[in-house]
């Protein structure tokens, strides 16, 4: 029997208190990393600046389902970033701040000056490995809340973000902070335990006309035990607890879950991962006394295939998750990701990407929707420092509203200058 909602909130266990203390804990973890590597003071920093400029066109930039409200944008993008990088025998730090400016001429309300930052820090010991990754972004909702079919194949499929709401028509800005410290302890040569703390904070500017997006935090702790049965096959068991806190009335949730699976290296260049289990969540049900909450185990799974050849790189993923977003509620999301890139020769490379998802509401406030984006890319390396890149994206969004489905075509042509390109450290690549 569920608990009838009287004030929109259920009893919150002590996990809420733990979640509020996570930012301090993460700060301590980052500081501890810097003390672990005695070579940090003497390390030689390297700098990898990148300047880019682009022409950008979109025939339905806000994905409106009404043809008379479609917004066509054409303008220019300027971008500047620098990777501050150093490495030692046992660790590395990479910090990349980035500025981006969008100018669409007469439609000044869609112009934006955006800021981003990315941090990666690793330290490898005899029995313990420590890592911290973090991201910050401040940009317009039009681009921030859209799930982009990225073509970066040097990423763990588990790290592909799933917190986009699909609400892109509002003239707001979004700030997003995400930090993820990890500690792996090896009990022996065949078994290890990874402890991971995740903290996601998303804030929106106050809207002028409606309340469609809501500030929220998503704090979680995850324990993963790994046992290597052989040099190719490993078994995994993961326990998860999370606290989702939103400004939307009735949207707060505390969940826990358990998954199990395996990782199989089928060859020197290919890996298959499968995880399956459940995440227990309070679901809104209509009862005699009004809306009631009942705990319901939501099935979750993740099937990923990774292929890394000399000239071909591939990530294919199909997963079902319980995801958070600015809608102010947790939703059940089925998603497929495809990232494929190939070096055609020394000068040219091509990429194909696909991202599709379908969300289902777990309470009475979330909006269900279907989303598909297809992306094609061609890169011309003119020289070691200069390159050109052409991107085409076709996007379809079908929300459960009166407007129905919307689609858009977007073309972006980039010109890049990277005077001192640094080869990506192998410790940052997906481990096969």
Contact (Cβ atoms closer than 8 angstroms) between residue 337 and residue 321 = no
Name which of 102, 67, 95, 107 is nearest 405 in CA terms: 67
Measure Cα distances from 8 to 4, 128, 163, 247, 291 in Å.
Answer: 9, 43, 23, 11, 10
Beta bridge partners of 50: 81
Q: Compute the distance between CA of residue 202 and CA of residue 185 in angstroms, rounded to an integer.
A: 31
3-class DSSP state of 324:
coil
Strands (DSSP E) contained in 44-153 are 46-58, 73-87, 91-103, 112-124, 128-140
pLDDT tens by residue, the chain, 432 residues: 444 444 444 444 444 444 455 555 555 555 555 545 545 555 578 899 999 999 999 999 989 888 878 889 999 999 999 999 988 888 899 999 999 999 998 766 788 999 999 999 999 999 999 999 999 999 998 899 999 989 998 889 999 999 988 888 888 899 999 999 999 999 999 999 999 999 999 999 865 455 688 999 999 999 999 999 999 999 999 999 999 999 888 788 899 999 999 999 999 899 999 999 999 987 666 566 666 667 888 999 999 999 999 999 999 999 999 999 998 888 899 999 999 999 999 999 999 999 999 998 776 666 788 999 999 999 999 999 999 999 999 999 998 765 678 999 999 999 999 998 887 777 777 766
Residue numbers of the domain that contains 405: 3-428
Q: CA–CA separation, 42 vs 33, rounded Å?
A: 16
Cα–Cα distance for residue pair 194/280, rounded to 1 Å: 22
CA distance 95 to 122: 12
Torsion, Cα 221 225 226 229, to 10 degrees, reads: -160
Handedness of CA 286, 287, 292, 295 (dihedral sign): negative
**Domain harbouring 282, CATH code:** 2.40.160
Q: How far separated are the first and last CA of the chain, in Å rounded?
A: 47
Whole-number Å distance between alpha carbons of 259 and 190: 20
DSSP 36-51: H-TTTTTPPPEEEEEE
Estimate to the nearest angstrom the gap between the alpha carbon of 72 and the chain centroid.
27
Q: What is the pLDDT of residue 382?
A: 97
| Model pLDDT, residue 33 | 52
Report how many domains make up the chain: 1
- Non-local (6+) Cβ contacts of 357 within 8 A are 147, 162, 333, 334, 335, 336, 370, 371
Q: Please give the structure tokens belonging to residue 418.
A: 């990277």
């Amino acid at each position: 029997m569920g608990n009838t909602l009287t004030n929109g909130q259920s009893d919150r266990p002590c996990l809420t208190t733990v979640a509020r203390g996570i930012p301090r804990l993460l700060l301590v973890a980052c500081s501890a990393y810097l003390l672990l590597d005695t070579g940090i003071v003497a390390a030689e920093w390297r700098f990898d600046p990148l300047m880019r400029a682009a022409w950008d066109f979109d025939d339905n930039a806000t994905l409106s389902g009404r043809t008379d409200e479609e917004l066509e944008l054409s303008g220019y993008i300027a971008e500047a970033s620098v990777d501050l990088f150093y490495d030692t025998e046992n660790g590395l730090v990479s910090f990349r701040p980035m500025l981006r400016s969008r100018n669409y001429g007469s439609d000044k309300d869609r112009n934006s000056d955006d800021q981003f930052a990315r941090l990666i820090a690793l330290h490898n010991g005899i029995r313990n490995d420590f890592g911290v990754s973090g991201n910050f972004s401040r940009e317009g909702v039009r681009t921030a809340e859209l799930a982009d079919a990225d073509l970066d194949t040097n990423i763990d499929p588990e790290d592909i973000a799933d917190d986009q709401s699909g609400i892109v028509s509002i003239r707001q800005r979004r700030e997003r902070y995400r930090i993820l410290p990890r500690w792996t302890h090896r009990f022996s040569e065949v078994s290890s335990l990874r402890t991971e703390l995740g903290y996601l904070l998303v804030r929106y500017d106050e809207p002028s006309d409606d309340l469609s997006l809501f500030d929220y935090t998503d704090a979680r702790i995850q324990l993963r035990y790994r046992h290597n049965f052989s040099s190719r096959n490993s078994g995994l068991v993961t326990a998860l607890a999370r606290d989702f806190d939103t400004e939307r009335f009735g949207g707060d949730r505390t969940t826990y879950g358990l998954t199990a699976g395996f990782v199989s290296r089928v060859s020197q260049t290919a890996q298959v991962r499968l995880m399956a289990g459940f995440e227990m969540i309070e679901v809104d049900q209509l009862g005699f006394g009004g809306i009631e909450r009942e705990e319901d185990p939501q099935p979750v799974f993740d099937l990923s295939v990774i292929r890394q050849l000399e000239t071909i790189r591939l990530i294919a993923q199909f997963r079902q998750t319980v995801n958070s977003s600015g809608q102010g509620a947790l939703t059940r999301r089925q998603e497929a990701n495809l990232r494929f890139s190939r070096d055609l020769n020394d000068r040219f490379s091509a990429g194909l990407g696909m991202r599709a998802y379908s969300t289902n509401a777990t309470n009475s406030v979330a909006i269900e929707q279907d989303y598909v984006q297809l992306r094609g890319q061609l890169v011309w390396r003119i020289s070691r420092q200069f390159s050109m890149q052409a991107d085409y994206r076709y996007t379809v969004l079908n929300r459960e509203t009166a407007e129905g489905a919307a689609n858009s075509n977007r073309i972006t042509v980039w010109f890049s200058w990277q005077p001192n390109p640094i080869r990506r450290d192998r410790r940052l690549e997906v481990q096969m």
